Structure 1
Amino acid sequence: MNILIQIFLLIFLFNVSAFSGESGELPGQESQQPKEDTEVVEEISEETEGMNVSNVDDLLEPKDINEINLPKNRLVEIFDQYFLEEINLNKLVVIGECEKNTTEGKCYVVEPSKLSNHFNNYYFYTNANNQVYSIIAFNDKKQGDLNKCKEKINLWRDYFNRYDLEEKKPTDNSLNFVMTDAPQQNSLEVFASCYTEKLRDISSSFSIKFYKNI
């Protein structure tokens, strides 16, 4: 019995480690139904044959899960685009240009293949080396219910909490947040806001901005 318990714990730790830092679905992205893995189910059924319910409950005690403290990964890409790399034309469609914010850089209006229905505009900013260092995703439609935007803020806050990002104070604002992975090299800052704002050629009612320090 002890051998079976050790096998289960090893399988559990391996599966959890493999998914450490995985981003999963973006908030507002349609999720696909996962395929059933019948082989895994059958293997577990064979291994647990003869075990009673109390033994299974012991293996699934929450205290075992809470003791596992997995490291978080950096946020290095979003909307099919890695930061400080050239625009990924394999997964992004450039549909126009926008107002740049540096003299030597450019701004592109893009349509990612992996997007969120929370936004209807995606602006990618590049530097003199054609590397994407900033991304702004925003919605320019007027919001009718501010509580719905608060729900979006909470969804994105939970999403970014999976990564090595710390929220800057104040942390109790339900309408916006700022996160950063500083003091790491080329630190990333993430700004989310439900406030109506105008920035250059952007008119937004809900936005998320990513700035990679270079």
Structure 2
Amino acid sequence: MFDLINSFAQYFYPIASAVSTSPAIGASSPATNANGDTMQQQDQETGLFGLDLVSPEVAAQLPPGYRFRALRRSDYNSGFLDCLRVLTTVGEITEEDFQKQYDAMDEQEGYYIMVIEDTARKEHAVVATGALMVERKFIHSLGRVGHIEDIAVAKDQQGKKLGLRMIQALDYVAKNVGCYKTILDCSETNEGFYIKCGFRRAGLEMAHYHNKG
């Protein structure tokens, strides 16, 4: 996922201004993490984007105790990478590597990586994730296109429509930062799922991989 994001980095630019904090929308809870920090304390940490880009309507459809928020710099051990490992190969990433990659994305302000938390969990609270990247165009009156990537749900959380809610939430972000369309790639077997999310077949994906393995 990170290689893909880096390959497009030169095309993605700031679309919406970030706010000073990135709290979560969904359930509120006094639960603590492994360090004893309450959810309220964690909510003071800056994320990749602000609360205003989280759809209240979609958040209200999450299971009780679940909530949306932006990815944070402290999410190395939150369960975020474990979710991505369900989707594809992640590799051996140190916490320092994770934070450097996060900082690079945060500086560009054009990356919208969202997670879903189970607030009842003290450890590995992140149970789903997805990413939106925005590309500026010269066509369509200098339009913007949203690219949805890396939708991943923890194995023990599948069947709760978290993937559907994540797609809906990211599509809301794309619309609200001025994208004229949102696009994504999927396999033939997953086409029906994305049709339910409001998408339709619009072409054929091609790829040229530059790294072996």
Q: Give me the TM-score of the superposition, normalised by structure 2.
A: 0.26
TM-score, with structure 1 as normaliser: 0.26
* Greater per-residue helix proportion: 2
Larger Rg: 1
More RCO (CA 8 Å, sep 6+): 2
Q: Hey, which of these two has a bigger chunk of strand by percent?
A: 1
